[in-house]
Amino acid sequence: MSWKKIRIAGVLCGAALLAAAGSAMAAEKPKVAFVPQIVGIPYFNAMEAGGKKAAADLGVDFVYSGPVDTNPVDQLQIVETLLNQGVQAVAVSVLDASSLAPVVEEAKARGAKLFTSDSDAPDSGRALYVAQATDEDLGHTIIDELASRVGGEGTIGIVSGEATATNLNTWISFMQEEAKAKYPKLKLLEPQFAGGTAERAAQIATDLMTANPDLKGIIAVASTTCPGVAQAIETAGKVGKVIGTGYCSPNTAKPYLKNGAMGFTVLWDPSALGYLTVWAGKQLVDGVTLTALNKVPGLSQPVSYDARTGVLLLGKPAVFTADNVDQFNF
């Protein structure tokens, strides 16, 4: 008896499908969606806010939807549904690069644009990648900013997270490259690795200051090491003598920027990234060919586009200081 009912349901379902299959969707405004890696964290909330602002400015319908856990299956399901909804351009902050390829095919078959933002899947066939900042710029900026604050000379300590983290090591190598090329009197100490804990970072930072009384600055490379490094400078009474810095989000760094334990931090502005993502989606829908340098209304600097790699670059990293940190919330 139960089986029969399920069969009836199946038939009804099928009939409904057939009846509605022909109904086409008509959208007045172009629809652009962004799928983050996870919803409910400040970083992606900031991207959403930027996307909303761009949607209002550009006359776009903006959909923001992402998984509750960092689960690639859920993310893929969301992307597929957005395509089925008739969204013309879908941006994804990719969780698993290899899982994107099948939906890229699907998007192409539907005439929709699938592109990546914040995290890329280079070999998936995506339309383009909206990148936040290059590793090179992140490495160079922190050294340039620090050098200008210490007068181009002095000893600098580096506290990183895991020794195996590729992105952190890349940033460190670009720091070393910049220091060597531009600031011969700036001495970068060998990086110390704190793993994932703030306590260990505080310990290492304290030891660095004890071992090097002439230390001028400490760079917290992993975001998890930011509070530890800043607190160590505070506890050692070296505020003003040692400049703390690193790749720290404004919300993490705000108290330390305000009390001087950190001079500045470097990262990118996720709300600008969200803004650029929606702008890029609009260009894809409109079929605009991007040029090497693009003026984006709403963003202060023009954005560069590399047609070979398909990377649309937000620009130089943002520098957060005590003066501007209150404008950001992530």
Partner 1 sequence: MKLTSLPKARILVLFVLWLALLGLLAMFAPAFFQPAVLRSILQFSTVLALVSLGQALVVLGGGAGIDLAVGAMVSLVAILSMLAVRAGLPGFLLPPAAILLGGLLGLGNGLLVTRLGLLPLIATLGTLFLYGGLALALTGGGPVPGVPAWLFPFGRGTLGLVPWHFLAFVLPVFVLVALILSQTAWGRWVRAMGFRENAARLAGIPVSRVRLLLYVTSGLLAGMAALVTLAWFGSARPNIGQNLELESLAAVLVGGVSILGGAGGVFGVLAAVLFIVSLKTAMQFSNIATTWQVGAIGLLLILVLLIDRRTVRWNA
Which residues in this chain contact partner 1 in the complex, by CB under 8 A?
A: 1-3, 5-6, 8-9, 12-13, 16-17, 19-21, 23, 25, 39-40, 63, 65-74, 76-78, 80-81, 83-86, 96, 98-99, 101-102, 105, 110, 164
Whole-number Å distance between alpha carbons of 319 and 40: 25
> Which is closer to partner 1, CB of 34 or CB of 320?
34
Structure tokens at 100: 């994107």
CB half-sphere exposure, 283, CA atoms < 13 A: 22
Q: How far is the CB of 317 from partner 1 (least distance, A)?
A: 25
> Which is closer to partner 1, CB of 100 or CB of 230?
100
Whole-number Å distance between alpha carbons of 48 and 249: 17
> Which is closer to partner 1, CB of 71 or CB of 212?
71
**34, 46 Cβ separation under 8 angstroms:** no
Q: How far is the CB of 42 from partner 1 (least distance, A)?
A: 15
Q: How far is the CB of 98 from partner 1 (least distance, A)?
A: 4
Q: How far is the CB of 166 from partner 1 (least distance, A)?
A: 10
Helical (H) or strand (E) element with 74: helix 72-84
> Cβ neighbours of residue 14 under 8 Å, at least 6 residues apart?
none
> Which is closer to partner 1, CB of 164 or CB of 300?
164
> Which is closer to partner 1, CB of 97 or CB of 290?
97
Place of tokens 């900042």: 133
Q: How far is the CB of 31 from partner 1 (least distance, A)?
A: 11
Checking phi first, is residue 257 left (phi over 0); if not, alpha (psi -120 to 50) or beta?
A: alpha
